[in-house]
Amino acid sequence: MKTLTEEQKNILLNSIRDIPDFPKPGIIFKDITTLLNNKEAYKFLMDHLEARYKDMKLDYIAGLDARGFIFGAALADRLGIGFVPIRKKGKLPSTTICEKYELEYGFDEVEIHLDAFHNNENANVLIIDDLCATGGTATAAAKLVLDAKANLVETCFLMNLKFLAGDEKVKKYSPIYSVLDI
C-alpha cells in the first residue's frame, strides 16, 4: 500500500470537510479535523503512511507547525524513530537555525533546533505536513533540514493543491509525495 487507488483516496477525501470563505472570501479551506476525528479514516491514513515509509531507513520525521505535528509524531512512534518539530519563529527554547519565507503579504520564519538531529550528519529525514499550497513553508523547512546537515529523503503532504504549484518549489529540495492531489 505504498500508493493508493482512487477508491482509497476517496475514503480520505470524503472525510475532509470543505469550509467556504475561510479564512477570507473566495478561499475553500480543507478542514482535516473531520478526518482526525474519524477513527477509521485516520487509522487508514496512518496505516498507509507507515507502509510507505517503514522500509526507507528513516532516522527522524520533521513535522511542520502545527498540523504536521499530528501526523509526524504518530508516524514517528509507529516507525520507532525520532520526531523533530519545525516551529514558527520564537517557539523553540534552545539554539535554533531559522529560515525566512514569503507569504502572500509579507514574510514569516520557521526554525529548528541546531542539534535537532543530535549532530548526526546525514541522518535520514522525512518532512511531513497536512497541505502544500504555495510551498513557502515546506521549502523553508527543507532548507532547514539541509542546513542541519541531514539527508532529506522526501517531503510528504496529506493534500497538495496542484493549481498553486507549490510542489514545484519543494521539488527543488526533495522528492515529494502527496496522498491526495487536489
Selecting among 50, 67, 78, 109, the annotated active-site residue is 67
pLDDT at 104: 67
Contact 156, 126 (CB under 8 A): yes
- Residue 43: half-sphere exposure toward Cβ, Cα within 13 Å: 3
Is 120 within the bounds of a domain?
yes
Is 38 within the bounds of a domain?
no
| pLDDT tens digit sequence for 105-149 | 779 999 999 999 997 889 999 999 999 999 999 999 999 999 999
| pLDDT tens digit sequence for 34-48 | 999 999 999 999 999
Is 4 within the bounds of a domain?
no
Is 46 within the bounds of a domain?
no
Look up residue 80 and give its amino acid.
G
CATH number of the domain residue 165 falls in: 3.40.50.2020
- Supply the range of the domain harboring residue 149: 56-181
Is 30 within the bounds of a domain?
no
Query: Higher pLDDT residue, 104 or 72?
Result: 72
Is 63 within the bounds of a domain?
yes
pLDDT at 35: 97
Is 77 within the bounds of a domain?
yes
Query: Is 104 among the catalytic positions?
Result: yes
Domain count, the chain: 1
Contact 151, 124 (CB under 8 A): yes
Is 66 within the bounds of a domain?
yes
pLDDT above 70 (res 59):
yes
pLDDT above 70 (res 164):
yes
Look up residue 12 and give its amino acid.
L
Whole-model pTM?
Answer: 0.95
Selecting among 6, 7, 40, 104, the annotated active-site residue is 104
Rounded to 5 degrees, φ, ψ at 115 are -105, 30
Q: What is the average per-residue pLDDT within 150-172?
A: 97
User: CA 83 to CA 60: how far, in whole Å?
Assistant: 6
Query: Is 52 among the catalytic positions?
Result: no
